[in-house]
Amino acid sequence: MKGTVLITGGAGFIGSHVASELLSAGYQVRVLDSLVTQVHGNNPDRPEYLDEEAEFILGDVRNPEVLDEALAGVDAVYHFVALVGVGQSMYQIAEYTSVNNLGTAVLLERLLKHRVRKLIVASSMSIYGEGLYVTPDGQPYMHASRGTRQLKAHEWEMIAEDGRPLRPVPTPETKQPSLASVYALSKYDQEQMCLIAGRAYGLPTVALRFFNAYGPYQSLSNPYTGVLAIFASRLMNGKRPIIFEDGRQLRDFVSVYDIAQACRLALEVESAQDVVLNVGSGSAITVTEVARKLARVLGKDIDPEISGKYRVGDIRHCYPDISQARRVLGYKPSISLEKGMRDLAGWLDRQTAPDRFNEMREELASRGLVV
């Protein structure tokens, strides 16, 4: 299917890469973005990194008139608009709910008037809360959690109610969500609203649950962005990356180029509809190890600082089972972490990176969200 595709939030990190991927594949691309200052700076303008062939509309997804303009003549929609920040969502509750939840609702109402052939919505690993764990005898343990007493005692690893240790395993889409932040709740609301509306109105819909994306164009001034961008900002300013807990948390870091590939496939594979899919690299690594790898790639002899503190809403281990995306989409992640980091480093060489980590940490601490 070729034609015109709308990307809401398309001037952002992932959206801009998806725009380039689709343009290269022969689609026409229109981008709708409000250019929020936390991501794009105090005097935002169309980002230089957004492909010049993409049509750009400045506007808010919550405005029905703006959406009518953006949706005119469109064949498919990628809905990427969202405020992003687990910690920040816990005190900017109204704003996160308005942009993420209400914005999606307004878009879906306008799609009743502007019928399209497919809808792809960006979801998030955050909806899982903790990933999937198994007991020592290999039985799935679906409701793993850590209480305040355990965290205050710095007992970081997950244990069962009977005291047995739990082991993390790749998390499949069938794992029941455990919503630990307002951001996670809003992302789950986004994906489920789109899937429910898609079923009701015969609109093929795909929800893609992105894991930890990284790559060029990620905002370096936003302290609530992806962890690799936060680490990079610290390292480029000669400062140690700060890691919560003991740094042994397992995560999956996926190149934005692989995410863009999955997004294009979600549009082009006709059988992909009414489905939720994990999008990651398929490999897990500790947060400490990824910080050290990034320092080496950037040529910085700086070790991370393990803080021993925790953030309310943080999870211990979560990394994806991507077999469903491989089967349904033919998705094949091809960018290794080392190659992706080298690419990121090449882009960082041309950037100025303000370090706002302490500002974020103090903001959360003042509200009792860092302990």
| Backbone torsions φ then ψ of 281, nearest 5 degrees | -90, -20
CA distance 9 to 290: 28
CA angle 362/364/369 to nearest 5° reads 130
Selecting among 133, 183, 224, 319, the annotated active-site residue is 183
Integer angstrom CA distances of residue 261 from 17, 18, 221:
9, 8, 26
188 in catalytic set: no
Q: Which residues pair with 311 in a beta bridge?
A: 370
Residues belonging to the active site: 183
